[in-house]
Structure 1
Amino acid sequence: MRTLFNTLIVAGLTCLSLTTVSAQTPNQTTRQAMTDLEAKRPKQAEQTLQQAAQQQPSPESYFFLGQYYLKANQPDKAQAAFEKGASMEDKKSYLNQIGLGGVALMRGETGKAGDIFAEVEKRAKRKNPDWLYRMAQMYVIADSSHRNPQEALRLINKVLDDSKVEKKPGYYIVKGDAMQHLNKGGDAVSAYESALQLDAQNVYALTQIGRIFKNGKNYPVARDNFLKALSIDSTYTPAYDQLGDLYFLGRNYRSAAYNYKKVVDNSEENFDDTFQYTKMAFLAKDYPNMIAYLDRIKDNPQLKDSNPVRRMYAYAYVTDDYKKYDEAKQLMEELIKTTPEDEQFTMDYAALGRAYANIDGEGNDSLAIVYLTKATADTTENLYDDIAGIYYSKLKQYNNAARAYQQGIEWKEANNKKPVSQDYYNVGRSAYFGFTINKDSTLTGLADSSFAKLYEVNPAYTRGLLWRARINRYMPDDSANQRAVEFYQAFAEASDTDSLRTADKTLEKDLTEAYGFLGYQAYQDKEYNKAVDYFNKTLEFDPEHKTAKQLLEFIDKNKLATTGQNAAGVKTASSR
């Protein structure tokens, strides 16, 4: 049996591929196109570069179009663009030849690529540092099997080590990328920081710095860099992607989902990103958004009629937002039937249990408890309250409800969650009825201690004293009745005020109970003056209280109370 988190933490994180922005491109349009490509807007980038090549055909415009196709892993289209650009170059220009070398590299023709690059390097000299830069760039954007970060470093260092060459941000970007591929994070950060000194708005450099710090578990610095990148470009999806990963690592699913949603909303339709977001919305229990985005991809061949989709819909359907319990039951039964037990999530049983709990039918409540109890093996969620609610409201097994509610408190304490007054009330009330109705004599102590805790954490709720008085009336020890008297007295003193009675009209009924018990106890103890006082208070709230009227009349008839009380204005039965 697996927990949901352990599975998703393995599958949920995705690593950003290293892409490289151009240095200082001929115009802002080209630079924006490259940013769009990084930000998962490839169609927009392609359209921009195609228009640039058509409207202002030049070796440079075709080079950038070809470079786009290389990054998009379309070597044939890249070759066509580079050949078109090469046909426009004079004999002293090698920009598109470099592009053709990149195509050869992508196709695994490393010898051919090496020959092209060697010829270009020989002719570049100091006058054409950008050629060396573009060759270095080709070595770092190639796929992993043909990438050569060492050669990229050799080429770009020839440029950077030349004091007479004007430095450009892109040079340091390439160096940073090469260092990352060599797992030299510190050197990569230094290179990206040098790029930022020349271009403080370079969101790629900021994001890559954040990425390195994230991988090094320096999360605050990583977050600051991602947020700075987004303050410059609020549509830059790689920064959102990395922020999502960062929050996911910290199990802050809501913040992770927010950032993954930004990736989807600011990029072109992409199955992987949309599915990643739906999984995170699922963990964050943001079911409305999860379903809205899952509906877009549920018929994708990778997901259609799959258990992950069944699970996500079912978990949502058993919530109060949807209440599609029959559909949830069907989905979960299909999932459990088609999944080996060791591949099932314990929380699957919670969804199935909640479905059964809300479907009418003989035995469904018992089945709900069976499945919910099985799901408690996953300690990430308190299911004991669900179980207790079924015992209490449906099966009327108050004794079992009390124990389940108590387990819910213990779950909270074990998971650093503070129980609230309602928790103690639920345990105490259930234990009280478990004793008085289910005749479970083992529950009086649990009821009393729960009501004591209830009043401790919420003294404004004076009925905590009332409930303690009630349960102590049934306690087996000799002093139990006296404790009941004390709790009824404390309740009456705390509750019998004009403001409380005005705010809560039901309080008079409880005060009637308290004064009636106190009067009867005083009568039993032959403290008739007290009894008269208490019975008169009882009749203030319930003029037809039978016991109070009868005993007051008896006391008056037999002259059991002192005449001093009548003189003081205390009414007896006859004076009423």
Structure 2
Amino acid sequence: MKILKKAITLNVGLVLMGSAVFAQNLNDAKKAIDAEQYQKASSMLKSLVNSQASNGDNYYNLGLVYLKTGYIDSARAVFNKGVAADAKNASNYAGLGEADLLSNNPTSAKTNFDKAVAAAPKDYKTYLAIGKAYLAQDKPSEDVSKPDFASALANLTKADELDAKDKDAEVFIGLGDAYALQKKNSEAITPYFRVGDIDPTNRRAKTQVGKMYKESRAFPEGEKELQEVIAADANYGPAYRELGELYLQWSSFGTDKEKAAKATELYKKYLDLTDKSLESQLRYMQFLFYAKDYKALEQVASSIQVPANDPKGIIVSRLKGWSAYENKNYPQALTNMTEYFAKQKDTTKILGFDYLYLGKAQLKAGQDSLALINISKAVAKDSTNTDALAEVAKTFFDAKKYAKSAAIYDKVIAASPNGKGVLYSYFYNGLAYYFEYASQYSAKKNPSKDLLVKADSSIAKVAQLSPETTDAYLYRARVNSLLDDDKAPKGLALPFFETFIQKVTEKPELVTPNARKLSEAYDNLGGFYFNSDKAKAKEYFDKSVAVYPTGTFAAAKLKELAAPAPKGKGK
């Protein structure tokens, strides 16, 4: 009997020891996930699944690794195994719901979340997993629905209520994230600070605080928070990434080149600490793109090894194309972007930049019509791409396809009426309509004067936005000359010729470069007054000859004015 009792005690001890080892290993795996060491976490969790096959938490965390690295189908398979192995563990149902949300299937997600609640309605982890699932939709680079913050907060608040003794810091990280993702930094600070009280070794909450400062452009404060994280744990990779991105953003607001260089160094450190997984390398390449280090980006994109049939290979093709174009390797860019579009079967994942770089590469290859189609799609996704559409319009303008050019410039202006380059768009839009009228007139096609009205409207906008642009007044004068009545001209062009002369002559340094244009203005004014006020006409013609002596029109008209009046018949 004593032997039997001793055996029982020993067995209990073995069970307790096994639980302690398991808990430590799962905790280490979670820390690896938090540190974005996904390959390491995946290896640890696969081992745990094999050794502790009946524990649903192993499957759930392995599934999360797959979700975080973009392998939704693999995650779904693992979560289903978790449900089969441990039906009372609600987390795997929540994981399936998260996979549904990332696949834009909220109806199926709700069904799985309901199953999770039914499986463990009083376990705070159920609601924590569901709340985090709603927040996981925040993926700017993916075309998925935006987070349902109301549902996220409702579930995270419920988790907080059930975790009455505040044992799990993850609940407060979830609450902090829910507010931070909505840019409600004041509300996010309190739960993030609470994390440190529960788990002083947790680095993510403080890193998130630093990130919030960065996003608010409070760069010194963010730098301080992140440096403190690194001082406490020199191996916590995400802090280096956030500090690198902070320095990159900070450097863009000044001339501090050291910070920009430091940003790249920090990102490389982050890469080293996250075991150079494909996911972290992809993020590094995206960083290089925004850092405008296109040479390094093309090198990394060309050297990265992607397993066959890995969907992430499509992203590498994309970045190869982007960087090749920026490095002026236009034929290669066209090849890479064509390859990307051939591989990318899911059109919902095509970004504005994808259409943009394909279109720009096509433009360089002389494929103007195809370029127009793709760059128009880029603008439809993001109006900041209108500069590229303006390039297409200018290409048609230079090819003297004025009607097409004007139509595209109309789109450019409509898409971004206050854009950086809109002044040039208005100007060339006006010229395109003006030259289209002229070309039709020369071809005796009886063009509509509506073309001139549109030309005048656009060029008038140039004068409004930039009153010192002298050519705007000259072209308005030319347009209005054509708009005027041929048989009984009203002098519609005169005020614009006069304004042009005034703008040029009030700055002596502009006179010589604009001599021929001044002569044109004087000639037109003199011509208008030739029959009604010869003294005034002579004054303008004299000025024309003075500013541009080689001109022939004014000289001829002055001879006419100087010639004796013809004698009447019969005298």
TM bin, normalised by shorter chain, reads 0.5 to 0.7
1:408 matched to 2:412? The reply is yes
CA offsets per residue over residues 201-256 of structure 1, 9 Å max, x none?
A: xxx656424537979x99659988753233344765322445689999xxx9xx99
* Equivalent residue number for residue 553 of structure 1: 559
Question: Residue 225 of structure 2 is aligned with which of 222, 229, 236?
Answer: 229
SS of the equivalent of 1:482 reads coil
Displacement, 1:300? 5.5
* Equivalent residue number for residue 52 of structure 2: 108
- Which stretches in structure 1 are left out of the alignment for 5+ residues? 1-16, 22-33, 43-68, 77-103, 112-143, 151-174, 197-203, 561-576
1:205–1:224 Cα change, 3 Å: farther
Amino acid at match of 2:496: F
CA offsets per residue over residues 391-438 of structure 1, 9 Å max, x none?
A: 1123x111221221122122113xx64554323212122222122124
* Equivalent residue number for residue 507 of structure 1: 514
| Matches of 1:420 and 1:472, distance apart in 2 | 23
1:432–1:222 Cα change, 3 Å: closer
- Which stretches in structure 2 are left out of the alignment for 5+ residues? 1-25, 56-90, 93-122, 126-164, 177-189, 253-258, 442-446, 567-571
CA offsets per residue over residues 56-77 of structure 1, 9 Å max, x none?
A: xxxxxxxxxxxxx99993999x
1:240–1:285 Cα change, 3 Å: same
CA offsets per residue over residues 281-339 of structure 1, 9 Å max, x none?
A: 446765334324324424555769932222222223334x32x2322222233333344
1:181–1:446 Cα change, 3 Å: same
1:369 matched to 2:366? The reply is no
* % identical aligned pairs: 23
1:422 matched to 2:424? The reply is yes
| Matches of 2:52 and 2:207, distance apart in 1 | 32
Displacement, 1:351? 2.9
* Equivalent residue number for residue 208 of structure 1: 205
CA contact (8 A) 2:206 2:226 kept: no
* Equivalent residue number for residue 450 of structure 1: 458
Greater helix share, 1 or 2? 2
* Equivalent residue number for residue 403 of structure 2: 399
* Equivalent residue number for residue 384 of structure 1: 389
Amino acid at match of 1:424: Y
Displacement, 1:388? 0.5
1:434 matched to 2:436? The reply is yes
| Matches of 2:561 and 2:390, distance apart in 1 | 50
| Matches of 1:476 and 1:419, distance apart in 2 | 31
Question: Residue 472 of structure 2 is aligned with which of 446, 464, 468?
Answer: 464
Q: How does the TM-score come out when normalised to structure 1?
A: 0.56
- 1:536-547 equivalences under 5 Å are 536-547=542-553
The higher-RCO structure (CA 8 Å, 6+ apart) is 1
SS of the equivalent of 1:506 reads helix
CA offsets per residue over residues 418-465 of structure 1, 9 Å max, x none?
A: 554323212122222122124553321121111111111111222211
* Equivalent residue number for residue 536 of structure 2: 530
SS of the equivalent of 1:73 reads helix
- 1:111-122 equivalences under 5 Å are none
| Matches of 1:365 and 1:209, distance apart in 2 | 51
Amino acid at match of 2:439: I
Displacement, 1:512? 0.8
| Matches of 1:506 and 1:304, distance apart in 2 | 59
| Matches of 2:485 and 2:346, distance apart in 1 | 51
1:336 matched to 2:338? The reply is no
* Equivalent residue number for residue 364 of structure 2: 358
1:389–1:176 Cα change, 3 Å: farther
SS of the equivalent of 1:473 reads helix
1:338–1:301 Cα change, 3 Å: closer
Q: How does the TM-score come out when normalised to structure 2?
A: 0.57
SS of the equivalent of 1:454 reads helix
Displacement, 1:529? 0.3
- Tell me the C-alpha RMSD between the 2 structures: 5.0
| Matches of 2:202 and 2:346, distance apart in 1 | 46
1:497–1:211 Cα change, 3 Å: closer
Amino acid at match of 1:337: A
SS of the equivalent of 1:543 reads coil
1:314–1:188 Cα change, 3 Å: closer
Question: Residue 325 of structure 1 is aligned with which of 321, 330, 344?
Answer: 330
